[in-house]
Amino acid sequence: MEMLVPYPPASTRTRPVDAGGVKAQWIETPASRTDRQLLYLHGGAYRVGSPATYRHFTWRLATAARARLLAIDYRLAPEHPFPAALEDTFSAYRWLLAGAAQGLAIVGDSAGGGLALALLLKLRDAGLPLPAAAVALSPWTDLALTGASLTLNADADPMLNADDLPHFAADYLAGADPRNPYASPFYGDPFGLPPTLFHVGADEILRDDAVRMAEKMRQAKCRVELQIWPRMPHVWHLLAPLLPEARCAIAGIGDFLERVLGKRAAGS
């Protein structure tokens, strides 16, 4: 896959870093501001993916958000099951905090979207400063697989096969409780979490993972924006080189972060 992923423009600066013991890449574009940073958590069912396989997307996100972006290479299952991915993400976030991070947001897609929400719960429970905002793209929030859309959209989803998810979940959990909130944030108490934007396609089998999580956060008085895009596949944002809707969605993420991070900067 990595060989097929387009490289970012020559104006994009990508450099490897050790983010608290976690391999990562800093990505900056001409639009990136030094006082605005994103922690990006890639998808791949906790089994595949890396910053390199997202290089055609992360520079676009950094540009839209006008931010520096840290894409981490967290450990993957089955060799490194739960909670390895969360531990790496937690370490990278603390590394950002130690660098006096400003204007900080977390963004993740699919498994990375669920991981982003799990990280928020862990940070809050540990008493650490939370980011100013979060963005979850087609997040996988329920590894117990109880969402109705797993069945309702089984024939409509062009990207994911509902029959595969139990195997992916089992590889990651390795016997852990699928209702552990740090693995499945849907089962956690989201009280106090920061403003969060959800994007999900109407035809996805994971649609209800986003919809139910957003509703639970609303009930906990969190600020939530849920966008259900008609006829869009799982994490359609990654099709930005080809799909106008993907570029539009990325621009919308930038607008959301501008509203939230801009307010935080004005109030600081």
The pLDDT of residue 268 is 45
Domains of the chain: 2-267 (3.40.50.1820)
Task: Summarize pLDDT for 153-202 with one digit per residue, the tens.
Answer: 999 999 999 999 999 999 999 999 999 999 999 999 999 999 999 999 99
- C-alpha neighbours within 13 Å on the C-beta side of residue 61: 29
DSSP 204: -
pTM score above 0.75: yes
Separation of alpha carbons 241 and 40, rounded Å = 19
Structure tokens at 251: 């621009």
Task: Summarize pLDDT for 252-264 with one digit per residue, the tens.
Answer: 999 999 999 986 5
The pLDDT of residue 264 is 59
Phi/psi at 36 (nearest 5 deg)? -140, 125
**Annotated catalytic sites, by residue?**
110, 204, 234
SS3 32: coil
Span 105-111, mean pLDDT?
A: 98
Q: Contact 211/185 with Cβ under 8 angstroms?
A: no
Q: Contact 70/38 with Cβ under 8 angstroms?
A: yes
The mean pLDDT value of the chain amounts to 96
Predicted confidence band of residue 73 (pLDDT cuts 50, 70, 90): very high
Task: Summarize pLDDT for 43-67 with one digit per residue, the tens.
Answer: 999 999 999 999 999 999 999 999 9
Does the pLDDT at position 266 exceed 80? no
Count CB neighbours of 147 within 10 A.
24
Task: Summarize pLDDT for 204-215 with one digit per residue, the tens.
Answer: 999 999 999 999
Span 82-107, mean pLDDT?
A: 93
The pLDDT of residue 111 is 98
Percent of the chain surpassing pLDDT 90: 94
